[in-house]
């Protein structure tokens, strides 16, 4: 069991703010960027190392900003404060505000500063690649901010999963676009199953938070459907993810090697079985959440590796 953060554990201000971004959970963004770089390479493009580094680095910064802004708004709406069934560090927020490590104002300023810091390098990358990146980047930032912030509060309107899937699909598409300078279908097709598995991570995290979310007026899908019905949603999202990947391989719109992503299906389905058994018992969901995190990250890495392998061993199409 990981202890919640306390002020005395962070005597250094930099360490406090860095830990508030929840860096251990930024790995899904790195995996998404790797898929985008691999699809660009498969398109026959020599990768620009500078643009690749800036894309990955500031995608991670944007994700960190979304995490912090989410903490800020969950402090304002009170859901984290009343969450007694949280499974730290997976659900219930970072606990930095609730445990007095940072103030609400400090977290709010920090989160919005992180999101704002992405804009200048994003403009430079758009200038270096093509104007369409402006639309991708601004849409991604809007989704990340609107996920938590009023008046949109997408997470509280039952469309949080859709927002997360769209956001992480844009990570893949945007990374590819920086290198390619144009839109392409391959990053969409390769990135969608991954984005759905990331959305499933958000979805399963809502089960331990259900009572607190309902009390705070956050009408997530789990709150709206109830745990008994909502638990089948996890299986639906997983089936869509793996089904789309399998179909892409069967109909040859994806390289056959990307079928390696199907190797993570047992992880998702094992998590789904645990969710069926413990949907109404938050304490029993830790293992299922860990499996879901592993499935999303490993899936992204396998897809990126499979695409890169096509480039290395078979050459570009």
Instruction: Going residue by residue through the chain, which has 317 residues, state the pLDDT in tens, using 9 for 90 and above.
Output: 688 999 999 999 999 999 999 999 999 999 999 999 999 999 988 999 999 999 999 999 999 999 999 999 999 999 999 999 999 999 999 999 999 999 999 999 999 999 999 999 999 999 999 999 999 999 999 999 999 999 999 999 999 999 999 999 999 999 999 999 999 999 999 999 999 999 999 999 999 999 999 999 999 999 999 999 999 999 999 999 999 999 999 999 999 999 999 999 999 999 999 999 999 999 999 999 999 999 999 999 999 999 999 998 876 54
Q: Considering the domain boundaries, does residue 1 fall inside one?
A: no
Q: Provide the 8-state DSSP code for 3.
A: P
Q: Considering the domain boundaries, does residue 247 fall inside one?
A: yes
- The CATH number assigned to the domain holding 65 equals 1.10.600
What is the span of the domain harbouring residue 110? Answer: 7-314
Buried b (16+ CB within 10 A) or exposed e, 139-160: ebbebbbebbbeebbbbbebbb
Q: Considering the domain boundaries, does residue 272 fall inside one?
A: yes
The count of domains in the chain is 1
Contact assessment for residue 101 and residue 6, using Cβ atoms and an 8 Å cutoff: yes
**Inter-CA distances, 159 with 70, 152, 166, 236, Å:** 15, 10, 11, 15
Q: Considering the domain boundaries, does residue 107 fall inside one?
A: yes
Q: Considering the domain boundaries, does residue 212 fall inside one?
A: yes
Q: Considering the domain boundaries, does residue 2 fall inside one?
A: no
How much is the pLDDT for 317?
47
pTM of the model: 0.96
How much is the pLDDT for 44?
87
The whole-angstrom separation of Cα 79 and Cα 67 is 15
How much is the pLDDT for 21?
98
Q: Considering the domain boundaries, does residue 260 fall inside one?
A: yes
User: Do you know the residue count of the chain?
Assistant: 317
Contact assessment for residue 225 and residue 233, using Cβ atoms and an 8 Å cutoff: yes
How much is the pLDDT for 249?
97
């Amino acid at each position: 069991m990981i202890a919640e953060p306390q002020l005395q554990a962070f005597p250094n201000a930099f360490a406090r703010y860095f830990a508030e971004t929840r860096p251990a959970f930024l790995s899904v963004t790195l995996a998404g960027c790797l898929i985008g770089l691999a699809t660009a390479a498969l398109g026959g493009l020599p990768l620009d190392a500078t643009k690749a580094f800036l894309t990955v680095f500031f995608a991670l910064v944007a994700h960190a900003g979304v995490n912090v802004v989410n903490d800020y708004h969950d402090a304002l709406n009170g859901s984290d404060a009343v969450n007694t069934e949280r499974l730290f560090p997976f659900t219930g927020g970072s606990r930095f505000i609730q445990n007095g490590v940072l103030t609400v104002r400090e977290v709010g300023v920090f989160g919005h500063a992180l999101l704002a810091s992405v804009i200048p390098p994003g403009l430079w990358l758009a200038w270096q690649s093509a104007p369409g990146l402006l639309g991708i980047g601004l849409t991604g930032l809007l989704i990340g901010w609107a996920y938590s912030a009023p008046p949109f509060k997408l997470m509280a309107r039952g469309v949080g999963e859709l927002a997360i899937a769209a956001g992480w699909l844009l990570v893949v598409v945007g990374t590819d676009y920086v290198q390619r300078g144009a839109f392409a279908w391959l990053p969409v097709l390769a990135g969608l199953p991954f984005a759905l598995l990331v959305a499933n991570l958000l979805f399963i995290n809502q089960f331990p938070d259900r009572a607190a979310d309902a009390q705070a007026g956050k009408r997530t899908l789990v709150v709206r459907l109830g745990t008994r019905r909502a638990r089948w949603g996890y299986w639906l999202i997983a089936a869509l993810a793996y089904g789309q990947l399998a179909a892409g391989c069967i109909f040859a719109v994806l390289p056959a090697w990307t079928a390696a992503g199907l190797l993570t299906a047992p992880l998702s389905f094992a998590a789904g079985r645990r969710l069926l058994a413990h949907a109404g018992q938050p304490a029993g969901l830790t293992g299922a959440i860990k499996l879901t995190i592993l499935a999303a990250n490993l899936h992204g890495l396998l897809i990126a590796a499979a695409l890169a392998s096509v480039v290395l061993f078979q050459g570009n199409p």
